[in-house]
Amino acid sequence: MNTNTGKVTLLSAGPGDLDLLTLKAVKALAAADVVLLDDLANPDIVTLAPQARVIRVGKRGGCRSTPQAFIERMMRRYALKGLHVVRVKGGEALLFGRAGEEIAILRDAGIALDIVNGISSGFAAAAGLGISLTHRRHCHGVTFVTAHTEDHGEPDWAALAATRTTLAIYMGMRRIGSIAAALLASLPADTPAAVVQWAGAIAERRLLTRLDRLAADAVDAGFDSPAVILVGDAIGESVEAEYGAAAGALTAVDKADDGVVAQAA
């Protein structure tokens, strides 16, 4: 490793609530010379890095994004100048955040690297719904999956449904119709489902529904990215807690005051 270089910290900013940052994250920000700020992170996070130069490098599905190669060049360039670069990523940096590519680039350049973990939006969504993703009454695990692969293909939804785990689906809103249809080939129509938009942030919205109405209800309620789709029997615990009814037994309810929308056939 080149001892004359600076270093890079891959920092997980969590779901948006700055109170959920780790102490390690706060210390890294305070020591940063350069902050490369992800579009999904709370922009107020820069107040914790008062001496840093802030460069916004947003990456959003379906929107104009900063090219990944440019971000990697920026990290390498400033670190090789001896600076401490903090690459701020929304959620958990190691989960669907292209961290693997950035780690490889930095290692190849001999640049020191720290990784700071954070709360992924899937966990924040579960917290907002007041459920356990691995409730032992309903499942034996949870599967985190992205709705599209590098080659723009889709996961094997039938195989995922067969696991009988809670499915936490990231980056799936543009394909929510095809996702629901694929899962319905293997799961019952009344399987509890939810969409949580801006999980863990002040603007959080939550939709409780069932699998056969998932796509229609999400569209009708105006849900969009960034959002996490949750599917599985464990999601029914949120419906029971909120409304004293099993998933699918609800009439339509709109709780605009707390951002919860419940729909049923």
Bridging pattern class, strands 253-255 and 260-262: antiparallel
Contact 170, 145 (CB under 8 A): yes
Considering only the C-alpha atoms of the chain, give the largest distance between any 2 of them, rounded to a whole number of Å.
65
* Cβ neighbours of 24 (radius 10 Å): 16
Query: E strand or H helix at 207, and its extent?
Result: strand 205-210
Tokens 């004359």 locate to 4
The whole-angstrom separation of Cα 264 and Cα 57 is 40
Residues with catalytic roles? 38, 59, 171
Q: Tell me the one-letter amino acid at 175.
A: R
Q: What does the block give as tokens for 28?
A: 């890294």
Q: Tell me the one-letter amino acid at 156.
A: D
For 152: left if phi > 0, alpha if psi spans -120 to 50, otherwise beta; the answer is left
